[in-house]
Structure 1
Amino acid sequence: MESKIEFVELLITDPRDSEFGSEADLDVAVDEAGDELRELLIGSWNLDPAIYDILIAHGYNVEYAKTLDEKALDDVFSVTKWTAHKHALRRKLTAWEESVLYTEARPNSDSVTGTRSTPSPSDRSAVGTSPQRKLLPTAVTKSLLDSILDRNEKGKIVVKFYQLHHCLDLNHRKHLAHTIVDYYMANQKYFSLADMARFAELIADRFPPEISITYFNPRNTSVNKKHPSGMLYDRFHNRKRKSVTPIGNTPATNASFQSQQKLAALQLSDSDIRRLDSSKSWLRNNRAPGDQVLKQWNHTVLLRLRSIQHDKDKNKSTVFSEWPRYLDEDGYLLVNMFGKIIDSVLKCKITFQVDADFKYLFEKSNEQGKLFDEWEWFCEVFLEYLLSADVKDIYSRQLISSLEEGDCSQAFHGLIKPVRTSTKKRPTILQAQIDTCYICETEEEFTETLDSQRQELESSGVQFSPRIFALGSIDNFECFYVVTNKLRYKLPSLVRCLDVVLKLKFTLDLQFPESSELFWAFISGYFYDIEYTQKSKNTQILQLIAYLKSRTE
């Protein structure tokens, strides 16, 4: 049976075009270069992984590999036991059109010199050549996928399950990924990224409503996603860990929101700072009248953003001392009196300090509206999604009845399980639930728990990330608090707490608790259109979003 050669386009953003600048993305560029060289040597040429290790150790990438001549080969493979590797690589280079060792018939000028002129990367960029990488060939077809499924018992189980239920659960997704990877392992073939991308597309076509990104999720430097992921990629590279050098699992770092507004704050002139200091001093010494407080607060936003960026204290103590209105029990509230009556009952409009700063920084985001408008609908749909999933965590399953009251934050982590933190440890589901919303029965328990957490984190030198406390029983909360090391806000509802926590993170440069960051990545991306971390592309989150979108179509 002949296999039709198809091409999958893998678009990789050149780090030089990144909005974060080449210095900040240096480590991303190095990782990408290593992945491309791996694809060329092991994926396309089927060479020994040791050759890749040797070239990487000498600082080579694909562009430099094009310039490898006889002298360079002798220098790189100087150890006697590497001679076979050198000859194997030379054979591939002499057949590679991009190489200076390419031996195919060329113009006379090339045959005389024995080399071909290859422009450097900088030369190509100078003449406007596209930074996109070449397309990689793949022989993966629909018939190949069908053949693999038909010849494998797990594959047959997956097909039969889908015919009965018209969807796949987590276990059968794993069976499907393992079946395809086992095919490559049995045939001692390297599973290239191009093949993974094509299989992912075929799976999505073969088993709707599956999405391709579940099985292969390519790197994306725009959200600081340095490495590919997905069930196919993870399964293959976990199996190949001993024989092939793995790609480093570098912890994610949050993308910096250095917007034009923040840059403007850092560039304030001395005269502007002196002028704004008078308003800052007024705010430190006055809580009323409300309209004047609101006016001065908005007037000093650049000076406040400057203070936030300059404050290196993990808990922003300097910011809170300079802007003490944050610390008032209801300090996030500002009453803005308008000439006309906005609300016939309250006869005023309530604006939030945190809201004001957030709106200034993220003018294009979906500021609060989507969260407040769709939260109840989301909880109802999430309950359906949760009931159809195989949730093994006992506490999360017990919470299902409570979701009908509109709180799905606790059960979220039972379905979207926590991932490893920067310390390489995987938090428990319970820890993620506690760090998202800690439930206390009484005000006294809340105060004691809050003081204890503040002391513990302060002594260990860890930032007290914004978090939520709920008072009462899980099926009947009486009130809510949002707290940090210095702040303590009493709020009327859970959804308002979610809104305030998110805005504290982005306005004060605080961090979400690592244990529950998947939850906050989902809230930020789905309700506010802010994708600040590669965890926004987590497969579990993408599957949930796909389900939500299917319910709105």
Structure 2
Amino acid sequence: MHRYYNIYQFPVKEDLLDISFDEFGGITSVPPLRVNVRTLNEEDSSSKKSNSHDESTNLATIRFNEVYAQTNFIYNVWETEENQLRLLLSQWNQEHLADTLLAEKVYVSTLKIINRHHMQRLLKKFDMGTEILFEQNLEKWRESIGRPLLPSCDTSIPPCTPTLSEIIRPLTSVSATNSREGSSLNSAINTISISLREILNETPRGKMLVEFYSQFSRFQEEQRTSLISLIAHYFEEKNLKMTLSASYKMENEILEIFPSEKLEYFRTSKRGRIYNKYANLTQSFKNAVSKHIRNDEREVIKNTRHEKSFEPEANGEICLNSLKFDNLSAEEFDRTWKACSHFRLEFIKSNKSIIEVFEKWPFYKTPSGYRLIDIDFRIAFNNRNGLLSEWSQNVEKITLFLTTEQHIKDRNIKGMLAHIKNNDALSENGKYAALIWAIHGFLVPTNKVVKKDLTGKKITTKFTIKDSQESVIYLGSNQQQVEEYISHLKKTKVWQPAIYATGKDIFSIENIFVQFGETRYEFTSILSALDICFKIIFLFDLKFPEESIMFYTFIESYFYKFKPSHNYAKVHILSEFLST
């Protein structure tokens, strides 16, 4: 407790109270305070000076607001509300505010119920530093009397300007009521409820700007430019998307927090200086760096195919550790794998990076990892297995469709279909692989892709039938050619599964395997390889290859009975023919 020794004189009727505080712990002290009380009469004051101190002094006990004296009188030390207020302000070393508060009829009783938004109006004639100190003193005092100051404006009062101390004080939460904008997935991911107060509080430059304003009560153009740059860099570094509405929100918060600022300082165009600064930052980085570097974080759109909700098993981590460290038999491994399926599928569903999925569940990368993909696909998508179960009964119909009514115009594919019809000695893999390639002759890719080369020049690419075929099954004359092709793709394409094989032609296909990133699964059946390719795409929620979107949409809707992610008239025509 701080100790003070002060002399207070209060006029009481014709007499004068001379009160010496032996110990004063503050106006809110609870323990009794010892005081010396003596009454002095003007007529005999000089004669009484010769008397002993003990004869002219009565000992009393004082509590807050009252004096209990050992005389016949009870004096109210705090006789007026003005005295109460002045004494309180003196303890805060802000006595100079007394006249202003009294002029506004603000007393101690008023300070007990005052809200933050009143203070700026009350102290508008004073500098920002005085306002901050007053608010700090008021907060401590209100807490000591059990009536803490509310952190924000009273909701029953119209919206008000936040005080500067709200900026400086660390923020504990961000309002959850701010709605997220944008209907696209990118907008939904990047739009976050962010406030200027949070930016100022979290960054060193933000705190310096606040301190500058508290001292000078205004910004010059140099500080405004720094503030704009601070906001734009914060959004870029946090990977937040700056929308027009977000920039407008920042502008309005600037006007609220720094009242001397004007909208014209920041809204020099429709977009405004904040939005333009952010756009310039992101564009300059793309021009300098991004376009030259392949993105290894193969980000994919999530939650588009996994419609089911998965409740993770409570022992999911235990199962995962058992899979990693216990010496399990094949049967025990499969049983443990299935026992934590929902734990794993929920992780896959919520995770945006296939790399992270494979790091947590490295068993997918083993040579037999395709079995685990098949297990998880069946659990996630209700045992759909249409390609393997329905392909053979549709082979003749597909062949018939492709060879009639001029559905195929490509000469090479026409020759391929003729060879299928006239050669009963073809192997199953050769026949099925050729028919898969032939389907691309009807589902000819129509989409165009615009990309930029290293110089920034835009290049429009229209995919061919061969592009579509080889994005599903690539056939090399030997293994070296296949490996060189895969190495080339790794430099330019994201992770997408595809089938690779060798042979002098598609009918003599052999050495079949599926390559997915750095993982390779070997197969003896071309149909099983295609089945796993599709299941990889669906399970890990990847995009269909751009070259063969129409082909995979056909497989998706007809064989696996999913609602197609894209609508194509030719897919509908072929599916309708096969269904009759």
TM-score normalised to structure 2 length: 0.42
Which has the higher Rg, Structure 1 or Structure 2? 2
Structure showing greater relative contact order (alpha-carbon pairs closer than 8 Å, 6 or more residues apart): 1
- Higher percent of residues as helix: 1
